[in-house]
Amino acid sequence: MEDDGNDKGKNKYSIIVPTYNERLNIALLVYLVFKHLRDVDFEIIVVDDGSPDGTQEIVEQLQNVYGEDRILLRPRAKKLGLGTAYIHGLKHASGNFVVIMDADLSHHPKYLPSFIKKQLETGASIVTGTRYVKGGGVHGWNLMRKLTSRGANVLAQTLLWPGVSDLTGSFRLYKKWVLEDVISSCVSKGYVFQMEMIVRASRKGYLIEEVPITFVDRVYGSSKLGGSEIVEYLKGLAYLLVTT
C-alpha cells in the first residue's frame, strides 16, 4: 500500500491546486508547470469552489490543450474552504506523491524540480518550501506584513519548537499516504491549517526537509484571507499548544 517511490521511474506526482476566482492565474500556472516539469509523470488536480469568475471554463479550455488526463477538474458547488479542498483533491489523486500549491503564482512552478530532487535525495516524507533561508525570499510585502510574519514566526518557534523554519508556507510535497495520515488528524481552518499540518507531521516523526522558495505576492486576483488573521493565528497557536 505504501509506495514510497524507491523506484524513481514509477513515481507520479499529483499537484493539487485549490482555486477561487483565479481564471487568469490558473492558466498561467498550468503553462508554467508544464514548462518546468518535463520528464516527470504528473497530473494537476484543480479543486474549484464554484468561482463566479468562470475559472472552470478556463480549466476546460486548458484540458483541450493539455489533455483531460493531465488536468483534472474536480469542482465543488460552493466555497467550502481550503482545508476541505485539499481533502477533496486528495481523493482524486492517482500519484504516489502529492504537491499542494496555491494558484495565485506566489508559489512558482519553477521550484517543483527542486522539491522532487530533494525528496529523491533524502527520502523525506515531506518537503516544504521555506522563504526564510538563503536563496529564499519574499517580494511585495509592506512593513506591517513583514512584522506580523516575523512576530508570528518567533512566537511559534519559541513555543512549539517544530523544527521547520517556515510554518505558514503551504508550498509542499508529500508522500501521498503521509498526507492522508496527517490531514485526517487536522481540524483547523484557513491560515492555521498549514501550521497544524506541519506541526503534527513533525510530532509524528515524519522526516521533513526544506527547500528555499521565493514568494512574490499575488499580482492578479484578490486575497481570500481577510480580517482577523492575527486573532485566528493566536487561537491556532493556543490550540496547538494544548493538543500537540
Ligand X SMILES: Nc1nc2c(ncn2[C@@H]2O[C@H](COP(=O)(O)OP(=O)(O)OP(=O)(O)O)[C@@H](O)[C@H]2O)c(=O)[nH]1
Q: By the criterion CB under 8 A, which residues form the site for other proteins?
A: 23-24, 27-28, 31-32, 57-58, 61-62, 64-65, 105, 108, 131-134, 136-140, 146-147, 150-151, 153-155, 158-161, 214-216, 219-221, 240-244
Residue nearest to ligand X (CB): 223
The correct pick among 56, 106, 125, 188 for binding Mg ion (CB under 5 A) is 106
Could you say which of other proteins, Mg ion, ligand X, none residue 241 binds, taking C-beta under 5 to 8 angstroms by partner kind? other proteins
- Residue 50 CB, shortest distance to ligand X, in Å, is 9
The correct pick among 82, 112, 116, 199 for binding ligand X (CB under 6 A) is 82
By DSSP bridging, strand 172-175 and strand 97-100 are antiparallel
Stretch that binds ligand X, among 96-104, 125-133, 200-208, 236-244 (CB under 6 A): 96-104
Phi, psi angles (nearest 5°) of residue 127: -115, 125
DSSP string, 99-150: EE--SSSSS-GGGHHHHHHHHHHH--SEEEEESSSTT-EEES--HHHHHHHH
- Residue 87 CB, shortest distance to other proteins, in Å, is 25
- Residue 84 CB, shortest distance to ligand X, in Å, is 8
Size of the site for ligand X (CB under 6 A): 20
Contacts (Cβ under 8 Å, ≥6 apart) of 171:
100, 101, 102, 107, 111, 128, 129, 213
The correct pick among 18, 83, 109, 129 for binding ligand X (CB under 6 A) is 18
- Considering the rule CB under 5 A, would residue 104 count as an interface residue with Mg ion? yes
Q: Spell out where 152-197 has E strands.
A: 172-175
Inter-residue contact 50 to 23 (CB < 8 Å):
no
C-alpha cell at 215: 514568494
Residue 19 or 128 having the CB closest to ligand X: 19
- Considering the rule CB under 6 A, would residue 90 count as an interface residue with ligand X? no
Footprint on residues 183-222 left by ligand X (CB under 6 A): 217-218
Alpha-carbon gap, residue 162 to 202, rounded angstroms: 6
- Considering the rule CB under 5 A, would residue 22 count as an interface residue with Mg ion? no
Alpha-carbon gap, residue 233 to 156, rounded angstroms: 10
Distances in whole angstroms, Cα of residue 198 to Cα of each of 45, 55, 74, 84, 173: 22, 29, 25, 17, 12
Where along the sequence are the contacts to ligand X (CB under 6 A)?
A: 18-20, 22, 47-49, 79, 81-82, 85, 102-104, 106, 217-218, 223-225
Where along the sequence are the contacts to Mg ion (CB under 5 A)?
A: 102, 104, 106
